[in-house]
Structure 1
Amino acid sequence: MSFVKKFYVADTHFGHGTVIQSCGRPFKSTQEMDEYMIREWNSVVGYNDIVYHLGDFAMGLQDEDRIRGIFNRLNGRMALVLGNHDYKKPNAVHPTLARLDWFLTPTPSLETNDGGLRVYLSHYAHRTWPGSHKGSVHFYGHSHGKCPPIGRSRDVGVDVKDVAFRPRSFAELTKGMPDV
């Protein structure tokens, strides 16, 4: 078995036509956007790698076959940190997402270690986070590149220029970050 890598991404919004216009995504249709993101994802993520998806995986969750089809085409073992569009109603994960074969049970926040550092994962940006005063890193989504980083935090959403519609590694995401 090859070395397992970790990747991070947020806000793919698979199947969400409105996000193309509202976020200025360079696609003519959701089909084009979805296919592009699937290709980009699979170009960097291996079969056994881990991808932490920080929320808003897809829209149109009532079409379970379409969502499952996209999910099954993506390389890696995936963990979902829940975003605002991942719920059917308050505090209830959308059943379509709940039935997918996630590596970990979908959760509102999560911690891992990467690059020798503690990493706090949330869909939302936090001004402070667990370990923020002790050198930890915070990755978030939700803001589609509109929320500037604070200290060792940053947006990992696909709309951020250096994320560019594909999962990114810890080293890529922390390049130039203070003291990392």
Structure 2
Amino acid sequence: MNYYISDMHFFHKNVTKEGNNFDNRPFNSLAEMHEYMKEKWNSKITNGDTVYILGDIAMRGTNEELIALVAQLKGRKILVKGNHDDVSDLRYKNLFEEICAYKEVTDHIGQEAYKLVLSHYPILMWNGQHRGTIHLYGHTHNTPEDTFFQECLRQFNLNNIQNSVKCPELARAYNVGCMMPYMNYEPRTLQEIINKQ
């Protein structure tokens, strides 16, 4: 099974009530957030699953702390690097099956195949967007920037419909930041992301 998540920001005090909590996360401390997210992850993911982490797995913390935490997360982990990801430590780098800046994959819901474009950053025009390819991204958290990006897509799709542009599919992009209500701080399958959005 494939799963997707982004922007966990482990060791970033300002995503909890210990700091300025800019994400409005429900955690009083980093320790509470780490334990909650680790428990949610490991109760769902098996070592046979693949988890695509679309950037910003961590923000701060010593290499030893970060390595110890990420090593406890089950599954084959593929990191699509974000702006806060530092993989210069070989011990940390070895925790991932692959590290890249951008990735195209195929996933399935039942018997139906879906092409996906994976990036930490939202992309306004991505490969195959008119042919049903779905874009999964992070970076914008639950902010006005994400609302603006989604509004651009809505206007883009509306324009195509009103002008009878021959696009077989509407453009679909989903923010898989862990703080999004439909993500609830755990990796999600493509079906869960589409159904909960």
Smaller-chain TM-score range?
A: 0.7 to 0.9
* Residue aligning to 1:29: 29
TM-score (norm 1): 0.86
2:3 to 4, 7, 17: 7
Q: Percent identity?
A: 34
* Residue aligning to 1:90: none
1:103 to 97, 102, 117: 97
The alignment status of 1:153 with 2:173, answered yes or no, reads yes
The alignment status of 1:129 with 2:126, answered yes or no, reads yes
How far apart are 1:97 and its partner, in Å?
A: 7.5
Call closer, same or farther: CA 1:86–1:54 in 2, change over 3 Å: same
CA–CA distance in structure 2, aligned partners of residues 73 and 134 of structure 1: 38
Contact 1:68/1:100 (CA < 8 Å) preserved in 2?
A: no
Larger Rg: 2
Bigger helix share:
2
CA–CA distance in structure 1, aligned partners of residues 117 and 105 of structure 2: 7
Q: Which runs of 5+ in 1 are unaligned?
A: 88-92
The alignment status of 1:171 with 2:191, answered yes or no, reads yes
Query: What secondary structure, in the 3-state scheme, does the structure 1 residue paired with 2:193 have?
Result: helix
Map Cα deviations across residues 101-127 of structure 1 (whole Å, 9 max, x no partner): 2111x1111111012011000001111
Call closer, same or farther: CA 1:74–1:120 in 2, change over 3 Å: same
Map Cα deviations across residues 145-174 of structure 1 (whole Å, 9 max, x no partner): 221433310100011001000000010112
Map Cα deviations across residues 41-79 of structure 1 (whole Å, 9 max, x no partner): 112111110000000011225x11111111111010000
Query: What secondary structure, in the 3-state scheme, does the structure 2 residue paired with 1:165 have?
Result: coil
TM-score (norm 2): 0.79
Amino acid at match of 2:15: V
Count matched residues.
166
Amino acid at match of 1:14: F
Contact 1:13/1:59 (CA < 8 Å) preserved in 2?
A: yes
CA–CA distance in structure 1, aligned partners of residues 40 and 180 of structure 2: 15
- RMSD (Å), alpha carbons: 1.7
Amino acid at match of 1:64: N
CA–CA distance in structure 1, aligned partners of residues 66 and 76 of structure 2: 16
The alignment status of 1:57 with 2:57, answered yes or no, reads yes
Call closer, same or farther: CA 1:13–1:48 in 2, change over 3 Å: same
